[in-house]
A and B are shown apart, each in its own frame.
Chain A
Amino acid sequence: MKSGKIPNQVLQVGFVFLLVGTSMILVRQHFIPESFGELGHYRADAVGVIASHEIQFAGWQACMECHEDQVAAKNNSFHRTLSCETCHGAAAEHASGEAEEDPPLPTGRALCLTCHRYLVSRPTGFPQIIEELHEPAKLCHTCHDPHDPTPSERPESCSGCHAAIARVKAVSHHAPLDCEVCHEVAPEHFLRPRSNIPRKPFERAFCGNCHAAGVDTPANFRGVDLTAFEVPKVDQDTHGGTLLCWQCHYQHSPEAR
């Protein structure tokens, strides 16, 4: 080997590297998917493949085409937020006219209870029932039309809907008080609750009817004899400053800690 000349072994290794390198580049060019990189670092064709997935739920607008009456009734009722397929199941095949069978008409209590069984975590105000207590022998649709579920008769008690509040109140010092003791409830509330919201007392004077120092516990407060209970008294002029009662005491569980 002469100095200044590239050594043989480097030429040999270099040749192999060149061969491997070039073939890898050529192979790579050949195998990269055609649409790769068109829209970003991915196969643009994949978007179309994903978009072509088969639709299962037709959407309630599709139901409108044939079942206008039911949809209209539903849309005017408390079930207006439901989609037809929430209860009747995926019906795209039915909507396109290709299904051999009609979508199911659920008749048991199970489906309704999926949403309306009492669960403490459900939002206050959402209508919930305790399965065992609420007409256990009847099917839901005997009293409630699923497309317009407002009951034809008023619920027996407030806890039918306001279970979460009733549950708290039942173990509180205010347990003996009926809801109507504090809330003025218009009869329409039982039929159209949200458009006839009961009045909530918020003045200090209202609580003072029982709890103000120097005021005798009423023997007949809106029909309830309260003298049997030990009612805590406070001087409303000094107690709590300018705060309203409910800012510290939750009326449905008025702990004084």
Chain B
Amino acid sequence: MSKTYERREFLADLVKFPCATLLLGVSGPIKALASAGNEYQASEHNYAMGVQIEKCIGCGKCVEACKIENDVPMEPYYFRTWVERYIIYTDGEVSVDSPNGGINGFPPVESDKDILRTFFVPKLCNHCENPPCVQVCPVGATFKSQDGVVLVDDDYCIGCRYCIQACPYGARFLDPRTHTAGKCTFCYHRITEGLLPACVEICPTQARIFGELDKLSTPLNRMMRQSNIQVLKAHMNTEPKVFYSDLDGEVR
């Protein structure tokens, strides 16, 4: 590529990212560099996750890692993330299971029937753009943070469980120790430190991709450009921010 082309590209980028232009123009490069390394600015981020169905091997390592990282009760009724196995038989029967959320993997298929297709689906809070759980919380104890993560304020939650009823994805539970709503935080304490969520860090096949939704050159954005993207229960108009590639129509 010629030098003129590079310049044109640079100028185009300046138009595309007016914030950066402003920052460079007003504060100068030194200040811009300083702010990059220092304080975490929530308003500069908008997080999302991609899940590549075709890469998930159903090992359940993400479920285990999530429970360890976030101190989720180990009993099999409380999950911030879990893995479901779908088996679609040639006669049209659909069988779904998630023994203990898939934390110990999956047993072999018992049925002798012919299988049409089968796959694993990791699930977690979708961190919806229009979160119904936030809509219904009577006191403002669950909320969407500036960086697009749906969080729960444990010190303010009254434990009415309306949010659990309102979530179409079964992503919430009542923590038996705090008696407040529990859910995935995208490992908020990790991502604000520049680390990946535990499930993403630990996934052996990198079936999960975490990143910025609004930035163009990220692995998440590349995956979303190159795959057929689906979200769960799109008709609910919750606008989920967990994007699945090649999701089967049977998945609910």
A, B: real partners: yes
Q: Which of A41, A55, A79, A85 contacts B193 (CB 8 A)?
A: A55
Per the 8 Å Cβ criterion, residues 134-181 of B in contact with A are 140-146, 151-156
A128 to chain B, nearest CB (A): 9
A247 on the B face (CB < 8 A): no
Which of B6-14, B55-63, B237-245 touches A? Answer: B55-63
User: Residue B74 at the A interface, CB < 8 A?
Assistant: no
Interface residues on A, range: 35 or more
Are the C-beta atoms of A57 and B54 separated by less than 8 Å? Answer: no
Interface assignment of B24: CB less than 8 Å from any CB of chain A:
no
- A:109-126 near B, CB below 8 Å: 114-115, 117-123, 126
Q: A49 to B155, Cβ gap below 8 A?
A: yes
Taking the complex as formed, is B20 at the interface, i.e. its CB lies under 8 A from any CB of chain A? Answer: no
Judging by beta carbons under 8 Å apart, are B69 and A50 in contact?
no
* Interface check A251, CB cutoff 8 A: no
Residues B108 and A119 in contact, CB atoms below 8 Å apart: yes
> Is A51's beta carbon under 8 Å from chain B?
yes
Please, how many residues of chain B have a CB less than 8 angstroms from a CB on the other chain?
53
- Cβ of A194 within 8 Å of any chain B Cβ, yes or no, is no
The answer, yes or no, to whether A70 is at the interface (CB within 8 Å) is: no
Residues of B within 8 A of A120 (CB): 87, 108-109, 115, 118
The answer to whether B206 and A81 touch across the interface, beta carbons within 8 angstroms, is: yes
User: Known contacts being A51-B192, A123-B54, is A115 close to B69, with CB within 8 Å?
Assistant: no
If A51-B192, A90-B68 touch, whether A43 touches B156 (CB-CB below 8 Å) is: yes
Report B-chain residues with C-beta under 8 Å of the C-beta of A16.
none
**A122 touching B57, Cβ below 8 Å:** yes
Residues of chain B at the chain A interface (Cβ within 8 Å): 42, 54-61, 65, 68-71, 85-87, 105-106, 108-109, 115, 118-120, 140-146, 151-156, 185, 188-190, 192-193, 195-196, 198, 201-206
A-B contact pairs, 29 of them (CB 8 A): A42-B141, A42-B142, A46-B153, A47-B145, A50-B152, A50-B188, A53-B70, A55-B190, A56-B68, A57-B65, A57-B68, A81-B206, A83-B202, A85-B201, A85-B202, A86-B203, A90-B65, A114-B60, A115-B57, A115-B61, A115-B204, A119-B58, A119-B106, A121-B85, A121-B119, A122-B58, A123-B54, A123-B55, A126-B57
